């Protein structure tokens, strides 16, 4: 998932095991746990993630934009 010069939103279900790897440059990425990055990389794990068990992998990048990762309600 790429966000360039715009806004993006990823809605996740915390009951589904997932790992979200985000890279940001001159942008901002906001995570459900309150973490925010503007430069660099961050990996977010859903509450259902357990090492060694199957999971969904998401790779995202944000450049000159904003990406919000929110929990489904």
Q: How far apart are CA 29 and CA 9, in angstroms?
A: 10
Q: In the sheet where 40-45 sits, what is the strand order?
A: 2-4, 56-63, 18-25, 40-45
Residue 73 has pLDDT above 80, yes or no: no
Q: For residue range 15-63, what is the model confidence (pLDDT) as tens digits?
A: 999 999 999 999 999 999 999 999 999 999 999 999 999 999 999 999 9
pLDDT surpasses 90 at 67? yes
Report helix, strand or coil for 21: strand
pTM greater than 0.85: yes
Q: Angle 11-69-46 (CA atoms, 0-180°, nearest 5)?
A: 80
């Amino acid at each position: 998932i790429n966000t360039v010069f715009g806004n993006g939103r990823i809605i996740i279900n915390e009951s589904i095991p997932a790992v979200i790897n985000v890279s940001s440059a001159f942008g901002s990425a906001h995570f459900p746990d309150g973490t925010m990055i503007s430069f660099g990389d961050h990996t977010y794990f859903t509450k259902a993630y357990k090492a060694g068990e199957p999971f969904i992998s998401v790779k995202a990048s944000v450049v000159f934009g904003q990406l919000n990762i929110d929990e489904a309600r």
